[in-house]
Amino acid sequence: MIQHDIIIIGGGLAGMRAAIEAKGKVAIISKVHPLRSHSCAAEGGIAASLGNSMPDSWEEHMYDTVKGSDFLADQDAVEYMVKEASGEIFALEHMGVIFSRTDDGRIAQRNFGGYSKPRVCYATDKTGHALLHELYSQILKKGVKVYEEWYVLKLIIEPKGINEDGSKQQVCKGVIALDIKTGNIELIQAKAVLLATGAYGKCYKTTSNDYASTGDGLALVLRESLPLQDMEFVQIHPTGLYKLGLLVTEAVRGEGGYLINGKGERFMKRYAETKMELAPRDITSRAIESEILAGRGIGGKDFVYLDLRHLGKEKIMEKLPFVHEMCAKQMHIDVVTQPIPVRPTVHYSMGGIPVTKECEVLKDSKNRVLGLYAAGECACISVHGANRLGANSLLECVVFGKRAGRMMNLFCANNEIEEIYNQKLLEEEKKKIEELLNTDGKIRMIEVRDELQNTMEKYCWLLRDDRKLKFALETVRDLQKAYSQINIDDKSKTFNTNLIEVLELGSLLKFSEIIVLSALNRKESRGSHTRADFPKRDDIKYLKHFMVSKNEDEATGIKIDERPVVITKHQPEERKY
């Protein structure tokens, strides 16, 4: 029997930051090697009001973030994050992160969409990479046990006592995980478990997310009948490489890049007069889609140009070398002399596993699951509300990763490893995998996944309406049924990526349904969620979070819970940029 004090699922920024903070016998379980985590692909930067290039304050950072979120962010959480930001940046810098510098040797900061000040610290255009590798170094230094290439199949959550409101209290006692290399399935006990499983953009076809961004953490939670929050808010980044979906960092616009339509206009003047290209992502993406819909794409097609030719070779090579390289490799274009064809691409998910400000996973609007935590993109602590500002995600990962680590330390100090009552769990899980492997199915995994991704992209994209969403829901549910008929070619136990892909598809199918349900439920337009049939923001009915879970007790099989938005400093107002 393997036992740890703290188990962290996911080895990206949030997971590793938590591991650095965590005490006792700590382990990271990750389905990829930590350095392969998607955090490494973050390009633009990490926000903090250091004020290194002009005076700045956490208050301004907070206002920008809340406004960017279309006032759906919980302001207490935002306040915590922006106040911690500067200290955290310095801590990372002391750990060895190589930030780009100003002329006087301090951490350089640049402009990003939705910010009133140049607030984004960066390491050229590989900020995520710089952070991730340095955090991994700290993991090595500390000697944290890493179960690399292990896939978590199940959370072990069992009842324990009664909550204040009379409901059953639940506690997380560990996980069951599959060692991909050998095919062995093990039960790992722990006092506290942190979900830091990251992004889940792979339910869309056009996405900047990597192969592994399949939201396995969300599926683990759903399987335990726990809810997901604000899942309708999927950030579609304005500038993905046309057809490939790979991200062209916002730093390109931060450094002064233009968006140009088929008529050669800087069309952003129609949508955000003052901020132009530096409007928040939701507004910019909608602007691009509107241009395309109006037939003003390049050559009438479904893309626009991101033009940085006027920046000159020197600036491009100094500030945006990775963009230069990526465009050359993937599109065969030289950004010094040619504009980049771009289209919005699925990039980030504001929603996720609902947690308290202390990163504890919520069972419903009032009660927590003891010993279970979540941080990073998979969590919804709601600092991003309905739309995230660029460079706030890396910040969220490190600030709340650290906080989760500390909270788990506190929890572990007062709790012991809990005995697991259901002795059959491990055997059941082994049997399930065995059955899955031996399914004599007729359907190929890719057929189901393609269909899911295409459906989500067509019917649950930027502009949504009731009809489209209902169709999407039906299709997703059909696909869920087809799942059991999927064939797995690979019968071997060793490194069975075929099996993993099918398991990941299972995750995608599970939470995609919740995304669509949440989108149907929110009958207003806010932030990244745009309903063609309800084009206005409706603060009276919808200035709140919704938590959706699968619940067999309900007639519909679905339970929708509400949670108020925490408003402390900034009352909702109209967003203008």
Partner 1 sequence: MKDKKIAKEKTAKYKKPNNADAVKNKSGKGVKSKIIKFRIQRFDAAKDKKDDTPRYDTFELEVKEGTTLLDCLDMIKWKHDGSLTYRRNCKNSICGSCGMKVNKRTKLACETQVHKVTETFCSDEILIEPMGNMKPVKDLVVDMGNFWDALHAVKPWIIYDGSFPEKEFIMKKEEAKKLDAVASCIMCGVCYSDCNSLEVEKRFLGPAALARALRYADDSRDTRKKERLRALNKPSNHGIWDCTHCFACVQVCPMKVAPLEQILKIRKYAQQSGMIFNPGARHHKAFSDGVKHAGWINEVTLPMKSVGLNIVGFFQLAPVGMRMYFKGKMPDIWHKPIVGAEEIKKIYLELEKKEMSNKSDIKEPELFEHRNPNKE
Site string for partner 1, 177-216 (x = CB under 8 A): ----x----------------------------xxx----
Binder among 158, 302, 466, 490 for partner 1 (CB under 8 A): 490
Interface stretch with partner 1, choices 134-142, 256-264, 354-362, 535-543 (CB under 8 A): 134-142
β-pair partners for 51: none
Query: Distance of CA 481 to CAs 395, 473, 484, Å?
Result: 39, 13, 6
Q: Cβ closer to partner 1: 382 or 453?
A: 453
Q: Does 99 bind partner 1 (CB under 8 A)?
A: yes
Binders of partner 1 among residues 380 to 419 (CB under 8 A) are none
Q: Cβ closer to partner 1: 96 or 535?
A: 96
> In angstroms, what is the minimal distance from the CB of 199 to partner 1?
12
Q: Cβ closer to partner 1: 190 or 311?
A: 311
User: Contact, 170 vs 159, CB < 8 A?
Assistant: yes
Q: Does 53 bind partner 1 (CB under 8 A)?
A: no
Interface stretch with partner 1, choices 429-437, 466-474, 492-500, 519-527 (CB under 8 A): 492-500
Rounded Cα distance, 399 and 404, in Å:
9
> In angstroms, what is the minimal distance from the CB of 64 to partner 1?
22
Per the annotation, the verdict on 36 as an active-site residue is: no
The token pair that represents 214 in the structure block: 């399949």
Q: Cβ closer to partner 1: 71 or 136?
A: 136
Rounded Cα distance, 70 and 289, in Å:
20
Rounded Cα distance, 509 and 203, in Å:
8
β-pair partners for 307: 258
Q: Does 119 bind partner 1 (CB under 8 A)?
A: no
The token pair that represents 561 in the structure block: 């819970």
Binder among 20, 22, 41, 469 for partner 1 (CB under 8 A): 41
Interface stretch with partner 1, choices 165-173, 331-339, 392-400, 510-518 (CB under 8 A): 331-339
Binder among 328, 410, 413, 532 for partner 1 (CB under 8 A): 328
Q: Does 123 bind partner 1 (CB under 8 A)?
A: yes
Rounded Cα distance, 14 and 359, in Å:
11
Task: State the number of binding residues for partner 1 (CB under 8 A).
Answer: 72
Q: Which of 281, 464, 531, 563 is catalytic?
A: 281
Buried/exposed code over 354-391 (b: 16+ C-beta within 10 A; e: otherwise): bbebbbbbbbbeebbbbbbbbbbbbbbbbbbbbbbbbb
Q: Cβ closer to partner 1: 199 or 548?
A: 199
Rounded Cα distance, 466 and 404, in Å:
38
Rounded Cα distance, 148 and 150, in Å:
6
The token pair that represents 45 in the structure block: 């930067």
Q: In the 8-state DSSP scheme, what is residue 330?
A: I
β-pair partners for 305: 260, 341
Q: Does 96 bind partner 1 (CB under 8 A)?
A: yes
Angle between helices 13-21 and 127-142 (to 10 degrees): 30
Interface stretch with partner 1, choices 318-326, 352-360, 390-398, 418-426 (CB under 8 A): 318-326
Q: Cβ closer to partner 1: 441 or 572?
A: 441
Binder among 1, 140, 293, 410 for partner 1 (CB under 8 A): 140
Q: Does 17 bind partner 1 (CB under 8 A)?
A: no
H helices present in 464-533, as ranges: 466-482, 497-521
Q: Cβ closer to partner 1: 138 or 290?
A: 138
Nearest to 190 by CA among 160, 155, 216, 162: 155
Q: Does 100 bind partner 1 (CB under 8 A)?
A: yes
Interface stretch with partner 1, choices 138-146, 282-290, 398-406, 415-423 (CB under 8 A): 138-146
Rounded Cα distance, 527 and 310, in Å:
31
Q: Does 13 bind partner 1 (CB under 8 A)?
A: no
User: Contact, 554 vs 541, CB < 8 A?
Assistant: no
Q: Write the single-letter amino acid at 184.
A: N
For the beta sheet containing 120-121, the strands, ordered from the edge strand earlier in sequence to the opposite edge, are 46-47, 120-121, 109-110
Binder among 14, 18, 19, 40 for partner 1 (CB under 8 A): 40
Q: Does 167 bind partner 1 (CB under 8 A)?
A: no
> In angstroms, what is the minimal distance from the CB of 417 to partner 1?
29
Q: Does 67 bind partner 1 (CB under 8 A)?
A: no
Q: Does 329 bind partner 1 (CB under 8 A)?
A: yes
Binders of partner 1 among residues 511 to 570 (CB under 8 A) are none
Dihedral sign (CA 117, 119, 123, 126): negative
β-pair partners for 464: 531
Binders of partner 1 among residues 338 to 357 (CB under 8 A) are none
- 83 burial type by CB count under 10 A (0-12 exposed, 13-18 middle, 19+ buried): middle
Q: Cβ closer to partner 1: 96 or 564?
A: 96
Residues designated catalytic: 281
